[in-house]
Amino acid sequence: MVLKQLLAAASLGIFAQGLAQQNKTFTGIKGCDALLDAGLQDILVFPEDVAYQKSVNGYYSSENRRLRPSCIVQPQSTSHVSSAIKALSELTGAGNWDIAVRSGGHSDYDNNAVNRGVTIDLSGMNNVALAEPTEPYSWNGTSRLTKSVAQLGPGARWGNVLTDLEEYNLGATGGRSGHVGVGGLLVSGGASYHITQWGMSCDNVVNYEIVLADGSIVEANAKENTDLFKSLKGGGSNLGVVTRFDLRTFTVPSKGIYGGLVFMDWKDLELANAQFLEYASSSSGSPDHLFQVYQSSPGTDDLTIMAMAVSTDGNEESKTFRRFQDMSLKSDMRDKQSLGSLATTIADEGGSHYIPFNGVFQANSKMLDKLADVFADLQNDFAKENVPVSLAFVLQPLPKSPDAPTNGNILGLAESLPADSILFESRATLEASEASYEGIVRAKMARASEELRSFSASMQGHSTYLYMNYANPEQDIIGSYGKSNVEFLKKTAAKYDPNGFFQHRVPGGWKVSRVQS
């Protein structure tokens, strides 16, 4: 009797095991089934799940919100990412499906989204920690580097990062919009409120924890995997999935910075440009941050100017912004506040359709006059043709020699940036319901972008560098880093991903394999 019971139990166990195995692979979708077989069912969601809809609707761009992967894996740890990458990279055979990797989802295009296939959603890996020492730092009037290192998950939002660090009177070179994710910004370059003091955000990363194409987990820093360390500073999605970024930190005022948005009338363009030019042409080392935006409303010729004016040292009387006193300001929202609070001011969660183009231009009066003229002409053109688009030309400082680390990146700025310059983005916004106008808008924006590039190239001091975070998919970002950096990135990618998993199965972003050398 006992023997019969044991045999029955064994048979039932074998049946249950077989049923469980069946349930793991019932989807019929290769990528999703591979993740189930890897034991990741607890972090895998499908179109009928609430978590799936939340993930898709969390994308910044309306274009990406319309894309529907077959499933979404939502890792909570580095080991989860490792298991997912290992399972997916071992799949073979033909099939029209891809893999996307997203952190904050704050991209204008499908760099981090797929239709069909699998999305790896890192938003749950949003930890913010501070390595010792963790006692609050004192402020002595100027920002200085500290020995504390901020350890950030790729899915953390910069608004939360800045707020958490301010408990210790510390800051980091991260995104200015609180909604932007850590991962995408740091592997692309990164502009921040402190770019003039501490350089590109990526230059402040001292260590990466990264999952490679075979699922292995490695560290990359100035002593270990140094080629990978350098290549990750601007290399985008060519190398692996970074699961932790370690950033150096610096002191910030305990009583807050001083700054905010300022809105100006178009009639004050000459004064606004003079103020911006004086700053941008000699911004290296400045504790102030100023970016200026020409902006318009759909269907009108009503042009305005917006600026983000920030004294990161808390100075309420900085000479950088003295010309505001001579303007008829529409609104001045500057105030004493924390960096985290300031980040929420421009924490745009998106939902529209965006068309960007990028360039780097000389900080001189001829270039600024040309930018204003092209902006006004382009908006007038859109208005005449009843194209319901909002247009913005964004001008930011790109300093030649901030106090950045010396271990290098692959951006090529030492060769391609002759002097303190203007980091430029032209940006068109369509409501999601008006996305059918994209072809018209993109064509006109591309022509305007080329007109500006050509004008800049006709003058001394032209830069060929293109900034990944503001670029159009059709712009050659990696190629703009220069031949030697392209070759370095190709060599590094081949070393750490010999089968080209991140070149071919993960197609989002700018791939070094597509650059002719």
pLDDT for res 405: 54
Same domain, 331 and 439: yes
Please write the tens of the pLDDT for every residue from 44-74: 999 999 999 999 999 999 999 999 999 999 9
Please write the tens of the pLDDT for every residue from 189-212: 999 999 999 999 999 999 999 999
- Statement: residue 407 has pLDDT above 80: no
Does residue 515 sit within a domain? Answer: no
Hey, what are 417's tokens?
């940036």
Calculate mean pLDDT across residues 431-456: 97
Boundary of a domain, candidates 121, 156, 179: 121
Does residue 263 sit within a domain? Answer: yes
Same domain, 449 and 343: yes
Same domain, 441 and 493: no
User: In DSSP terms, which residues pair with 391 in a beta bridge?
Assistant: 428
Phi/psi at 392 (nearest 5 deg)?
Answer: -140, 135
Residues 6+ apart with CB under 8 A from 362: 419, 421, 422, 456, 459, 460, 461, 462, 463
Same domain, 289 and 149: no
pLDDT for res 9: 43
pLDDT confidence tier of residue 7, bands split at 50, 70 and 90: very low
Nearest 10 degrees: Cα torsion 97, 95, 232, 227: 170
Hey, what are 477's tokens?
């970002």
Q: Are 282 and 290 in contact (CB under 8 A)?
A: no
HSE of 236, CA atoms in CB hemisphere, 13 A: 29
- Statement: residue 177 has pLDDT above 80: yes
Instruction: With 0.85 as the threshold, say if the pTM is over it.
Output: yes
Phi/psi at 382 (nearest 5 deg)?
Answer: -60, -45
- Statement: residue 344 has pLDDT above 80: yes
Long-range contacts of 399-402 (CB under 8 A, 24+ apart): 399/195, 399/196, 399/199, 399/283, 399/284, 399/285, 400/284, 401/284, 402/195, 402/196, 402/197, 402/198, 402/199, 402/284, 402/285
- The count of domains in the chain is 3
Calculate mean pLDDT across residues 411-426: 95
- Statement: residue 166 has pLDDT above 60: yes
Same domain, 142 and 195: yes
Domain hosting residue 407, numbered range: 257-478
Does residue 517 sit within a domain? Answer: no
- Statement: residue 19 has pLDDT above 50: no
Radius of gyration of the chain (CA): 24
Calculate mean pLDDT across residues 380-409: 86
Burial class, 300, CB count within 10 angstroms (exposed 0-12 / middle 13-18 / buried 19+): exposed
Q: Give the domain CATH number at 19.
A: 3.30.43.10
Same domain, 388 and 272: yes
pLDDT confidence tier of residue 404, bands split at 50, 70 and 90: low
pLDDT for res 189: 94
Calculate mean pLDDT across residues 145-174: 97
The region that residue 84 occupies, defined by phi over 0 for left and psi between -120 and 50 for alpha, beta otherwise, is: alpha
Q: Are 160 and 329 in contact (CB under 8 A)?
A: no
Residues 6+ apart with CB under 8 A from 208: 219, 220, 221, 228, 229, 232, 242, 244, 245, 246
| Higher local confidence (pLDDT), 95 or 368 | 368
Same domain, 110 and 156: no
Same domain, 137 and 117: no
Does residue 516 sit within a domain? Answer: no
Does residue 81 sit within a domain? Answer: yes
pLDDT for res 95: 80
The region that residue 430 occupies, defined by phi over 0 for left and psi between -120 and 50 for alpha, beta otherwise, is: beta
Question: What letter represents residue 208's amino acid?
Answer: Y
pLDDT confidence tier of residue 133, bands split at 50, 70 and 90: confident
Same domain, 311 and 449: yes
Please write the tens of the pLDDT for every residue from 266-322: 999 999 999 999 999 988 899 999 999 999 999 888 999 999 999 999 999 999 999
Same domain, 263 and 410: yes
Same domain, 355 and 415: yes
Q: How far apart are CA 246 and CA 514, in angstroms?
A: 30
pLDDT confidence tier of residue 134, bands split at 50, 70 and 90: confident
Same domain, 246 and 264: no
Greatest Cα pair distance, the chain, in angstroms, is 99
Q: How far apart are CA 487 and CA 510, in angstroms?
A: 15
